[in-house]
């Protein structure tokens, strides 16, 4: 069995790069012993760093909300969050983000962990119960395993922690996901219809002759500071203007956990979350006209949420009545493009 990707640094330990501070005793001893025991991880022979992401990775848990993002520490030895936490129920299947080889499958600090080697990168998931063994090859979107019920990685909910290292350095996994970064010329028959000058109402609904959740990436635009998330291009421009104002007020960008959601992701999310998710094919996320946000905006009554209520409409974004505190399905994180 190969060694896992996970690092155990001074003052914290994590099976996939999370921030778990230790106060001493047996837990601290385990952390320090593991740090010393793990070998350095270098690029696989014959690989060129970065080339394995040219085609873009796939989301290992489509439709899952990011409940804690990538927060690398300023120095390698300091505490930080060296990956992302994806909300999911125990038993949820986790998929391979790209084709690769199982580098490690086993227990680390009492947690089941699987690490996949993809070119020069090591992609780790925990707590993940998996029948796979080191050395097995998997294709992209292969089921790697299922989220273990215990022990939890996230203290208040169940989640999968996803960490990625490239040549020994942790990188943001969400930044590796496939987006359309360059213009593509579509056949004339597939070209989207022109956007209206100013969409009416909430901005939600059919546009461009597309179907909900089946909009080609070329017809969408990445959000500037979160390029792995896509929106309709006018909505993306409005959101970027909103983000500039937010960053001026709070000193940090808006945390985006979801934007355009394809049909397959809607189906999976509905199966996992029940009435908390829209019927597949009807979600405003499927039109590229809705976002889910974190960083304090996702909680009623915070400074960030109240700021959004006051300032977002000036940039074309609203918190729909049904999602407000007194609405039929309160969701402080959900915002829609109104144009």
Contact in structure between 221 and 236 (CB atoms under 8 Å): yes
What per-residue confidence (pLDDT) applies to 210? Answer: 84
Q: Higher pLDDT residue, 188 or 270? A: 270
**What would the pLDDT profile of 43-82 be if each residue is shown by its tens digit?**
333 333 333 444 578 889 877 778 888 887 776 666 668 8
Instruction: Please give the CATH topology (third level) of the domain spanning 25-46+55-176.
Output: Glucose Permease (Domain IIA) (2.70.70)
CA 60 to CA 118: how far, in whole Å? Answer: 14
- The dotted CATH code for 201-337 is 3.30.1380.10
Cα three-residue angle 163-165-170, rounded to 5 degrees? 80
Q: How confident is the model at residue 42 (pLDDT cuts 50, 70, 90)?
A: very low
- Whole-model pTM: value is 0.45
- Whether the per-residue pLDDT at 161 is higher than 90: the answer is yes
Contact in structure between 297 and 333 (CB atoms under 8 Å): yes
Q: Is 185 exposed, middle or buried, given 0-12, 13-18 or 19+ CB atoms closer than 10 A?
A: exposed
Domain ranges of the chain: 25-46+55-176, 201-337
- Whether the per-residue pLDDT at 38 is higher than 70: the answer is no
**What would the pLDDT profile of 284-314 be if each residue is shown by its tens digit?**
999 999 999 999 999 999 999 999 999 999 9
**What would the pLDDT profile of 197-221 be if each residue is shown by its tens digit?**
333 345 456 787 888 988 888 788 9
**What would the pLDDT profile of 80-93 be if each residue is shown by its tens digit?**
688 899 888 899 99
């Amino acid at each position: 069995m190969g060694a896992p990707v996970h690092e155990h640094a001074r003052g914290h330990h994590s099976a996939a790069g999370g921030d778990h501070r230790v106060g001493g005793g047996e837990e601290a001893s385990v952390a320090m012993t593991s740090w010393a025991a793990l070998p350095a991880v270098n690029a696989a022979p014959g690989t060129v760093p970065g080339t394995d992401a040219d085609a873009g990775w796939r989301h290992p848990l489509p439709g899952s909300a990011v409940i804690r993002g990538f927060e690398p520490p300023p120095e390698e030895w300091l505490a930080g969050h060296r990956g992302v936490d994806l909300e999911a129920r125990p038993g949820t299947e986790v998929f391979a983000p790209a084709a690769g080889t199982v580098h490690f499958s086993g227990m680390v600090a009492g947690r089941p962990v699987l690490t996949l080697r993809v070119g020069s990168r090591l992609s780790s998931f925990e707590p993940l119960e998996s029948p796979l063994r080191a050395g097995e090859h998997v294709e992209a979107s292969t089921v790697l395993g299922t989220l273990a019920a215990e022990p939890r990685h996230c203290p208040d909910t169940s989640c999968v922690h996803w960490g990625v290292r490239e040549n020994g350095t942790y990188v943001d996994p969400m930044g590796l996901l496939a987006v359309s970064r360059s213009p593509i010329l579509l056949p004339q028959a597939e070209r989207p219809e022109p956007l209206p000058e100013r969409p009416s109402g909430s901005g939600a609904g059919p546009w461009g002759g597309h179907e909900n959740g089946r909009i080609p990436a070329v017809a969408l635009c990445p959000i500037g500071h979160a390029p792995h998330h896509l929106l309709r291009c006018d909505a993306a421009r409005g959101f970027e203007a909103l983000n500039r104002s937010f960053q001026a007020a709070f000193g940090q960008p808006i945390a985006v956990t979801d934007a355009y959601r394809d049909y397959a992701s809607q189906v999976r999310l509905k199966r996992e979350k029940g009435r908390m998710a829209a019927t597949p094919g009807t979600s405003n996320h499927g039109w590229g006209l809705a976002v889910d946000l974190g960083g304090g905006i996702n909680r009623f009554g915070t400074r960030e949420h109240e700021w959004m209520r006051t300032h977002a409409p000036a940039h074309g974004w609203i918190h729909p009545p049904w999602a407000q505190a007194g609405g039929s399905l309160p969701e402080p994180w959900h915002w829609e493009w109104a144009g």
